[in-house]
Amino acid sequence: MISIEQVTKQFPGNTAVRNLSLTIPDGKIFGFLGPNGAGKSTTIKMMTGILPVESGSITINGSDITKEPMKAKERIGYVPDRSDIFLRLKGVEYLNFIADMYGVPADIRREKIEYLTKSFSIYGALNDHILTYSHGMRQKIVVCGVLLHDPDVWILDEPLSGLDPKSSYTLKEMMREHASKGKTVFFSTHVLEVVEQLCDEVAIINNGQLEFLGSMAEMKHQFEEDDNLEKVFLELTQNG
Ligand SMILES: Nc1ncnc2c1ncn2[C@@H]1O[C@H](COP(=O)(O)OP(=O)(O)OP(=O)(O)O)[C@@H](O)[C@H]1O
Q: Are 26 and 1 in contact (CB under 8 A)?
A: yes
Measured in Å, residue 81 CA sits from the centre of ligand 1 at: 12
Query: What predicted TM-score, i.e. pTM, was given to this entire model?
Result: 0.92
Ligand 1: residues with CB < 6 A are 11, 14, 16, 34, 36-42, 81, 190
Beta bridge partners of 214: 202
Q: Provide the pLDDT for residue 213.
A: 94
Q: What average pLDDT does the chain have?
A: 92
Q: Provide the pLDDT for residue 84.
A: 76
Length of the chain: 240
237: Cβ contacts below 8 Å, ≥ 6 apart: 192
* Sheet containing 14-24: order of strands: 14-24, 2-11, 55-60, 63-64
Q: Provide the pLDDT for residue 238.
A: 64
Return the percentage of the chain with pLDDT > 90, whole number. Answer: 75
**Per-residue pLDDT for 240 more than 50?**
no
Interface pTM (ipTM) of the complex? 0.96
* Ligand 1 atom nearest 205 alpha carbon: 21
Return the percentage of the chain with pLDDT > 70, whole number. Answer: 98
Measured in Å, residue 42 CA sits from the centre of ligand 1 at: 6
* Ligand 1 atom nearest 190 alpha carbon: 25
More confident residue, 63 or 136: 63
196: Cβ contacts below 8 Å, ≥ 6 apart: 216
Ligand 1, atom 14: closest residue by C-alpha: 39
Would you place residue 237 in the very low, low, confident or very high pLDDT band (cuts 50, 70, 90)? low
218: Cβ contacts below 8 Å, ≥ 6 apart: none
Measured in Å, residue 103 CA sits from the centre of ligand 1 at: 34
Measured in Å, residue 207 CA sits from the centre of ligand 1 at: 10
Ligand 1, atom 17: closest residue by C-alpha: 41
User: pLDDT of 49-86, one tens digit each?
Assistant: 999 999 999 999 999 999 999 999 999 999 998 877 78
User: pLDDT of 88-114, one tens digit each?
Assistant: 999 999 999 999 999 999 999 999 999
Q: Provide the pLDDT for residue 15.
A: 96
Measured in Å, residue 193 CA sits from the centre of ligand 1 at: 22
SS3 state of residue 83 = coil
Q: Provide the pLDDT for residue 48.
A: 96
User: pLDDT of 147-198, one tens digit each?
Assistant: 998 899 999 999 998 889 998 999 999 999 999 999 999 999 988 888 888 9
Nearest to 65, CA basis, from 115, 2, 15: 2
Q: How far apart (Å, rounded) are the C-alpha atoms in residues 65 and 76?
A: 11
Nearest to 52, CA basis, from 61, 41, 42, 40: 42
Measured in Å, residue 197 CA sits from the centre of ligand 1 at: 26
Rounded average pLDDT over 131-140? 92
Q: How far apart (Å, rounded) are the C-alpha atoms in residues 141 and 47?
A: 22
Q: For ligand 1, pick from 7, 41, 204 the residue to mutate: most ligand atoms within 8 Å of CB.
A: 41
Per-residue CA distances from 170 to 119, 144, 183 (Å): 7, 12, 18
